[in-house]
Amino acid sequence: MTLILTDTNDESQRYQFTLGEEVIVTTSTYELYDLVKDNPAEQLIIIGPNVKMETARVVAEHFRVVQPSLGVILVRTRLDVTTMSEALRSGIREVVSSDDASALVAASKRSLQISSQLMEVNKAAGSAMARGKILIVFSAKGGCGKTTLSVNLAHALASHTDSKVALLDFDLQFGDVAVALQIEPKKTISDAISMQTNLDELGIKSLMVNQQKNLDILLAPTNPTDIEFISTELIDNLLDSLRNSYDYIVVDTPPAFTDLILRVFDQADRCFLLTTLDMPAIKNLKLVISTLEALNINKSKLDFVLNRSDIKSGLSLREVEEMVGEVFTSHIPSSNEVSASTNRGVPLVMDNPRHPVSREIIDLAVRTDLKFRPIENKKRGIFGRKSK
Ligand SMILES: Nc1ncnc2c1ncn2[C@@H]1O[C@H](COP(=O)(O)OP(=O)(O)OP(=O)(O)O)[C@@H](O)[C@H]1O
Ligand SMILES: [Mg+2]
């Protein structure tokens, strides 16, 4: 079916006869816009000879932006250079003479072919876009709050942005996500060793512990000897499969650049680099930045997070930012509630979402989601926030 914009409804039969198919004729551009919305499969608009050039130009320019795959063909009684060049500028695909029915049929065919090619390209780009994003949480100094941030960030993403989230404990030797959430480690990453290259969606599902709606967790091995069998190839396969099943894959890390962690950095879409306000942590953050630079990790992926930002350490935020040469986009305050909630096995963002620590982490989760999924957020119209 083709959509026709004309100055009179009488023309429907003529177009129907020429094109050899059903047409929908309208004399109103507003109705045309509604028709396109209601018939998303339609990929062709023909604008009749008596519709003003100005109107044709506005319609073509509108659809060139909102639905580039849709083709617009203009019919004119006279084909002159001015009309042709104006049509070209506004994105009209072809201009045909009103007394040349076969030219109109041929132009329609060409336009529909272009439309279907464009739709294929859009579909491929769409599915590439839809792949899950890897978010790594790292600091080279131990005890900065990596596990606290990973666990809370994963929960915040799952409950406040309506995303499907996987939390991975890649601190393979000393991972404590299971302890922090009081999960009995019946299933761990060790179970992936026997699957190696066979990690399909079903295999992945069998490894993950379901924590709550939208959140699954992959725990670190309970047997340290398993670590030598966890190859970088296994990690690559795992991350690749996880991207198909989750919107976000949050990775908790050890305080060291192991081969595995470098692999994750390589594939990460966002890297949250943590520090606290003490000189050893700041020195290590500077080292991390230069190491990542040497490894050609794109700087635009880095996000700097200051944990326990309000403790009196004798160093001000400005001094630390000057030392590091970066701006901290999140400042997580210090609070006894953090360890108290960990001891209860419930992350603070779930236990008390209004707590200043929770607010900062939820804000980071929502900002991250907005960065990666602005369209979904717009569709939901809530910018990812669920009120609690
Ligand atoms: N903002 C905070 N306020 C108060 N305590 C915090 C805060 N962030 C983390 N902690 C506490 O600091 C300790 C270390 O935190 P965490 O285990 O998250 O660090 P880590 O970087 O994962 O450590 P590791 O390098 O050993 O894995 C924990 O007891 C945690 O409860
Ligand atoms: Mg940790």
- Cβ contacts of residue 126 below 8 Å, gap of 6+? none
> Do both 22 and 155 map to the same domain?
no
Cβ of residue 171 lying under 6 Å from some atom of ligand 1? yes
> Do both 117 and 228 map to the same domain?
no
Would residue 387 count as lying in a domain? no
- Once rounded to an integer, what is the mean pLDDT over residues 209-220? 96
Pocket test for ligand 1, best of 148, 284, 351 (most atoms within 8 A of CB): 148
Q: CA 243 to CA 246: how far, in whole Å?
A: 6
Ligand 1 centroid to Cα of residue 146, in Å, is 7
66, 20 contact by CB (below 8 A):
no
> Do both 322 and 189 map to the same domain?
yes
Cβ of residue 231 lying under 6 Å from some atom of ligand 1? no
> Do both 122 and 151 map to the same domain?
no
Cβ of residue 206 lying under 6 Å from some atom of ligand 1? no
* pLDDT tens string 242-293: 998 999 999 999 999 999 999 999 999 999 999 999 999 999 999 999 999 9
| Helices then strands, each counted (H, E), the chain | 16, 13
User: Does residue 386 have a pLDDT over 50?
Assistant: no
> Do both 249 and 346 map to the same domain?
yes
* pLDDT tens string 50-81: 999 999 999 999 888 878 899 999 999 999 99
- Cβ contacts of residue 308 below 8 Å, gap of 6+? 145, 276, 277, 332, 333, 334
Residue type, 184: E
Nearest residue (CA) to ligand 1, atom 3: 334
> Do both 263 and 245 map to the same domain?
yes
User: Does residue 385 have a pLDDT over 90?
Assistant: no
> Do both 297 and 232 map to the same domain?
yes
Q: How many CB atoms lie within 10 A of CB 339?
A: 12
Mean pLDDT of the chain: 90
Would residue 385 count as lying in a domain? no
> Do both 112 and 172 map to the same domain?
no
pLDDT-based confidence at residue 199 (cuts at 50, 70, 90): confident
Containing domain of residue 75, as a range? 2-127
Domain boundary among the residues 127, 146, 167 is at 127
Six-digit token string for 93 = 């695909």
pLDDT-based confidence at residue 363 (cuts at 50, 70, 90): very high
Out of 193-197, 243-247, 298-302, least confident range: 193-197
Would residue 386 count as lying in a domain? no
Domain boundary among the residues 127, 155, 172 is at 127
Q: Which of 7, 39, 42 is nearest to 25 (CA)?
A: 7
Write the CATH number for 73. 3.40.50.2300
Would residue 53 count as lying in a domain? yes
> Do both 78 and 146 map to the same domain?
no
* pLDDT tens string 133-175: 999 999 999 999 999 999 999 999 999 998 999 999 999 999 9
pLDDT-based confidence at residue 388 (cuts at 50, 70, 90): very low
User: Does residue 384 have a pLDDT over 60?
Assistant: no
Atom of ligand 1 nearest to the CA of 148: 18
User: Does residue 304 have a pLDDT over 50?
Assistant: yes
Ligand 2 centroid to Cα of residue 253, in Å, is 7
Ligand 2 centroid to Cα of residue 177, in Å, is 8
pLDDT for 127 equals 59
Ligand 2 centroid to Cα of residue 178, in Å, is 11
Domain boundary among the residues 78, 103, 127 is at 127
- Once rounded to an integer, what is the mean pLDDT over residues 327-349? 96
The ligand minimizing its distance to the Cα of 151 is 1
Write the CATH number for 239. 3.40.50.300
pLDDT for 22 equals 85
Atom of ligand 1 nearest to the CA of 174: 27
Number of domains in the chain: 2
> Do both 198 and 295 map to the same domain?
yes
pLDDT for 224 equals 85
> Do both 265 and 240 map to the same domain?
yes
By the CB criterion, residues less than 5 angstroms from ion ligand 2 are 146-147
User: Does residue 129 have a pLDDT over 70?
Assistant: no
Exposed, middle or buried: residue 361 (CB in 10 Å: 0-12, 13-18, 19+)?
buried
- Once rounded to an integer, what is the mean pLDDT over residues 310-336? 92
> Do both 357 and 237 map to the same domain?
yes
Residue linked to tokens 């464009």: 118
pLDDT for 371 equals 86
